[in-house]
Structure 1
Amino acid sequence: MRLTPTERDRLLLFGAAELARARKARGLRLNVPEATALIADTVCEAARDGRRLAEAIEAARSVLGPDDVLPGVSDVVTEVHVEAVFDDGSRLAVVSDPIGSSLGDEAPGALLPGPEHSDPPATVTLTATNTSSVPVSVTSHFHFFEANPRLDFDRAAAYGMRLAVPAGSSVRFGPGESAEVGLVPIGGARVAIGFAGLVDGPLDAPGAKEEALRRAAACGYLGVKGAGA
């Protein structure tokens, strides 16, 4: 059975969540990895059932309470981010306060954030329009070229680029909303594996960009010559 990296990650998450469910059923209180896996898996399964983003997040918030986890877990698991495949495409779900009753900054050993980092300077600026009827979020290190097919922007200019925002943050595009975004080149080894599967290899390999554009056009991505409007 051939699986993409995204599919392998999904199976790993499901396995961890099943372990958490089994331990919870035995009356055990969950630790941080178990609670995180169960919350994230609930989002993914709700998406698979055809529920909308807000409904999936609400389901994840109701799966665990303070009595279901070990002491201090609710102070550590204050937010869970997971990419889930909804009927309208892959979207980022952010489940804030998923367990409740945390002590926040008053918790023993709490880590208090320092000043925020400034955005990295953009090397490319373009305008992206969300043509869908639902919000679309793109995370900081997602290959922007492969972002949601209903986002309309110059895909060729975005090839090999990511958002010029601090790591771990995201940009949200409301339905019908246009926004100017800054992009910077993806660093490191410049290999794009997974995402939407339009590259799955070195970004700078000979012919890689042309093949990715061809795949995007064939799949109906907006912002590519030959794609449907």
Structure 2
Amino acid sequence: MPPITADRLLRGWPGPAGTCIRLAAPGDAAEVRDLLALAELSLDQELEKTIEAGTVATTILTGLRAGTSQMLRPLAEAAAVGRPQDAMIGLVTVLVAESPSGQLHGALQAVPPGNVLSEAAAAGVPLPLALVASTKVAKIRGLAVAPTARGLGIGDVLLRRAVRLYHQLDWLLLYGQFPAESGLDSYYGRRGFTVLPPGTGIDLAPLNLPVDIHHEPGEQLFVRWRSTAIR
């Protein structure tokens, strides 16, 4: 398939049941919030404002337009004034599946691993290296499909688009978590992810980071390294 471009990400692709898979845009925030609530997740107020302002995933779009090296510029500028966390919002991606009637039937949110950044800094990793890690690791924070649109493959396409986007931009690791014993291990396993046993974290030594990604209580992690990228 041809590379993803910024314009195509904004305009979208045809999806299942006549949907359009695209980046979230102004007017989407309320429906994204309601969809994520189905997965028992909240929509951060800052991200909600970003969606409504039409500035979601600004750093991701920069990478698509100007190359991955340019994604480090906003991170370096924020770090220079001692506020590296301010640049994290530009690395958040929200993809939606819009129906022909204009309703959102699905949403996916992917975020930079803020805990990895803070733990790496606490472990003595130089800030520039820790910031680079935020452009190498992303978390699939939430994936939700409206009850009336389930079984159509919308979640699968949202997931595939997200993975392909991040891998194209040279992210090395995508991961997420789900409630243990929920049955979702087979769902993610069929989609090319490795589901880790309960209690197992992700060792980031391959990224030269002396930290691990830990799951929350009652959760399991699923992971995919770029060497097995989804097509």
With the length of structure 1 as denominator, give the TM-score of the two structures.
0.30
> Who wins on radius of gyration, i.e. which is larger?
1
With the length of structure 2 as denominator, give the TM-score of the two structures.
0.29
More helix, by proportion? 2
